[in-house]
Amino acid sequence: MASDKLKIAGTVHDSIVDGPGIRFTIFTQGCEHNCPGCHNPQTHPLNGGKEIAVDELIAEMLKNPLLDGVTLSGGEPFLQADKLCPVARAAKHSGLTVWTYSGWTFEQLWTGEASDDCRRELLALTDVLVDGPFILSERSRELKWCGRRNQRLIDVQNSIDRGEAVLYVPPVYGADFEIPKW
Ligand code: SF4
């Protein structure tokens, strides 16, 4: 029987930097992309980190009533897509958004060389995919929610519908706000 335990490097219970709002961020353990200059080399070994039962992780995530979403980061989350699908499903069921970071691109995960049924399912449960490898020369501190210019924020549901990557456009809060005339 497959283990119901996820290998993680850690969690942050109330992140405000891994997507919009307050987020429960899961840093999965294990990555084989070997991006030069990666900031999280400790997350690379597949046998490192610690194991946590998926049910326990979901309960931990749902404890915070102020949460806006869950962010799946790494490491490479799609290496453990089978364990993360129930987490993403529970999040959606509770009205939370799902953001996922990956060293693979949308195209590689949806139809390309990194695609398989489990990974496609996790992708389909994702609202926004921040995709692409870490390229040191593309690093920028001015970007929101990602650290390199080559990374894309992908609107996954629209991309699946259209069959091509569609960029996510964050809502502009207050754009239609009119100053009351007294
Ligand atoms: S995908 Fe992320 S964790 Fe993996 S090597 Fe690249 S930057 Fe590091």
Find out if CATH 3.20.20.70 is the number for domain 5-110+117-162.
yes
Query: So what's the pLDDT on residue 51?
Result: 97
Q: What is the pLDDT of residues 50-91, one digit of tens each?
A: 999 999 999 999 999 999 999 999 999 999 999 999 999 999
Question: pTM score > 0.85 for this model?
Answer: yes
pLDDT score, position 146:
81
- How do 69-73 and 97-101 pair as beta strands? parallel
Mutation test residue for ligand 1: of 39, 46, 76, 151, the one with most atoms within 8 Å of CB: 76
Evaluate: CB of 38 within 6 angstroms of ligand 1.
yes
pLDDT at 179: 61
Three-state secondary structure call for residue 84 = helix
In 3D, which of 135, 132, 136, 171 has the Cα closest to residue 153? 132
Segments of the chain with pLDDT less than 50: 1
The rounded mean pLDDT for the chain is: 92
Q: State whether the beta carbon of 19 lies less than 6 angstroms from ligand 1.
A: no
Q: Is 76 in the pocket of ligand 1 (CB under 6 A)?
A: yes
